[in-house]
Structure 1
Amino acid sequence: MAEARSPLEVTISVWRAMFLREALDRLFEARAAWLWLLFEPVAYIGFHGFGYGTFHILEMGGMAITMWIISGFVGFLLFRRTWTQVLHGIDCNRAFFVYRQVKPFDAAIVRAVLELIIMTVVGLIIFFFALAMGRVITPELLDPVLLPVDPLMVMVSVVGLWLFGLGFGLVTSVAMHFVPELDHIFKISYLPLIYMSGALLPISMVPPPYRDILLINPVVHGVELLRLGFLPSYHTVDGVSLAYLYACSLGFILLGLALYQRFSRKLVMR
């Protein structure tokens, strides 16, 4: 007679199986699906890099413009992709909820972890490709800096953005379950969020009364701190806080878990 598995062993088995399925779907479901994961950030970075170069803007806050765009947009994209993957995790895995071992949170955490791995690989590819093309972190007239000066700050900023994407996805997925029309609003907000988060336009250009409103967005803090990890002398805006980023991330994760627990039955029903 087979020995009964512990709840932890069952959970790990569920996560492993769902992770493999999600990875295969993301990377091989369509022709060259893995290439499109890389194309989006490259297209945005290339387009905005060309635009800034046209106006002879070679640096931003003491940081070379190419690396300024790369660090900001890759950080923002990690948040956005994590959010959207968790947001649609319930609908994309609804068929598996017939098994009592599979819970909505399993789908959310698996998709979030997969997105962290994918975006880490994508970010490294873009960064080292930029280095191979002769781009550096500091403006070219100064002593070139090739690698992030504070890699620990880079890592904690990346994790903070990922955690906020996970928490925000948990909360909004429950909201969208009860109000499906919210999905249209979320899709419309993707593009404005890029610029409101300081990923491709500097927050420092926004006048103080409105800048304080933008600083309510935790993604702004994560993006600016990521750039500080690349170059500690980067001139960021006042009020950027790692504690605020992690406090918001923890708050949304706890709220999301509470909502998943409260509506656990309704979430698995159509």
Structure 2
Amino acid sequence: MPTDQDNSRTPWQVTRSVWYAMFMREAVSRTMADRMGWFWMIAEPLAFTMIMVAIRGFIRGDRFIVNAEFIPWMIVGIMGFFLIREGMMRGLGAVSANSALFAYRQVQPVDPVLVRNFLEGMLRTFIFILFIVGALMLGTDLMPDHGVRAVFWWLSLWCLGMGLGLITSVAGTLVPEVATVIRMLNMPLLILSGVIFPLNQLPHWLLEYLMYNPIVHGLELLRANFFDGYQMVPGTSATYFWLFTLTTIVIGLLMHMRFKEKLKAK
């Protein structure tokens, strides 16, 4: 970890050193501290997918999906949602878990949030690649039809998770009750984001309200680039998604600037 003797280095060099040190610390903690860590990162989406596939036999949700197989469609949605969810949830404990490091003046409360989001994005990307390879080995085509654009929207979902993580890291640290509410919203948010069943067949009046959820837009745009000819939910907008994402990032950074000293004191 950098010390006060690093005066000869530029601010950017000091920041990179801080981020690298924190990244290595978080990576070891995330992947090595728990012997079952890697298992659960892979088992959670796999088990969730298997359960939903079993339920499919009763609800026949695949008949409402045009130009996309149900299982690949759902896997893409689950992995995209988990990418956003983990970015948001990892931000909750990032500040308090690294409070001892704030004794170094080079370390700011925003640093562990950004590092955690970057690490989580890398892990989720690696797991998604494993799912794609595994699906191909089992004879299921999970390769994106528009690879470059699919990667772009995957990174876009990553950015949304970062923006939400920046906001929750401040709100959850200063007001612990907020963290409890956010954790409670996980399952309803998964259902209302069109992760496990298509939203096309919902009544128009209900769909209008659900389309205020930016996750719906991001997942639909990701799926549209995985499955050529896929019919997105009416009203899907890349502009709305990016306006919301950039707004959350800006608000999150402003909150960290405004409450920096309070976060350090926690």
TM-score range relative to shorter protein: over 0.9
- Specify the alignment match of 1:4 in structure 2: 8
For 1:188, the equivalent position in structure 2 comes to: 184
The answer as to 2:23 corresponding to 1:27 is no
Three-state SS of the structure 2 residue aligned to 1:204 is: coil
Residues 87-166 of structure 1: pairs in structure 2 closer than 5 A: 87-136=92-141, 147-166=143-162
Distance 1:92 1:148 in 2: 37
Q: Which residue number in structure 2 is paired with residue 50 of structure 1?
A: 54
TM-score by length of 2: 0.93
Q: Which runs of 5+ in 2 are unaligned?
A: none
Deviation at 1:97, TM superposition (A): 0.9
- Counterpart position of 1:239: 235
Does 2:207 correspond to 1:207? no
Q: Is the 8 A contact 1:157 1:222 kept in 2?
A: yes
Tell me what 1:69 maps to.
Answer: 74
Counterpart residue identity of residue 184, structure 1: T
Counterpart position of 2:220: 224
Q: What is aligned with 1:144?
A: none
Q: Percent identity?
A: 34
Code of the aligned partner of 1:259: M
**Corresponding letter in the other structure for 1:268:** K
SS at match of 1:232: coil
Q: CA RMSD in A?
A: 1.6
Which secondary structure does the structure 1 equivalent of 2:185 belong to? Answer: helix
The 1-side partners of 2:125 and 2:168 are apart by 24
Per-residue deviation, residues 56-98 of structure 1 (Å, max 9, x unmatched):
5555222101101111110000000111112221111111111
- 2:87–2:158 Cα contact (<8 Å) kept: yes
The number of residue pairs the alignment matches comes to 261
Shift of residue 178, structure 1, vs aligned partner: 2.5
Superposed CA deviations along residues 152-171 of structure 1, whole A, max 9, x for unmatched, are 22112111111111111111
What is aligned with 1:140? none
1: CA distance, partners of 2:44 / 2:167:
26
- Paired with 2:46 and 2:165, the residues of 1 have a C-alpha distance of 25
Residue 86 of structure 1 is matched in structure 2 by 91
Could you tell me how far apart the structure 1 residues matched to 2:262 and 2:251 are?
Answer: 17
Q: Is the 8 A contact 1:153 1:228 kept in 2?
A: no
1:186 Cα offset (Å): 1.0
CA contact (8 A) 2:194 2:216 kept: yes
Report the Cα distance in structure 2 between the residues aligned to 1:166 and 1:231, rounded to whole angstroms. Answer: 26
- Scaled by the length of structure 1, what TM-score is found? 0.92
Rate the CA distance shift 1:209–1:269 in 2: closer, same or farther, 3 A.
Answer: same
User: Is residue 174–residue 267 contact of structure 1 (8 Å, CA) maintained in 2?
Assistant: yes
| Contact 1:62/1:234 (<8 A) preserved | yes
**Structure 1 stretches of 5 or more lacking a match?**
138-146
- CA distance in 1 between counterparts of 2:257 and 2:45 reads 35
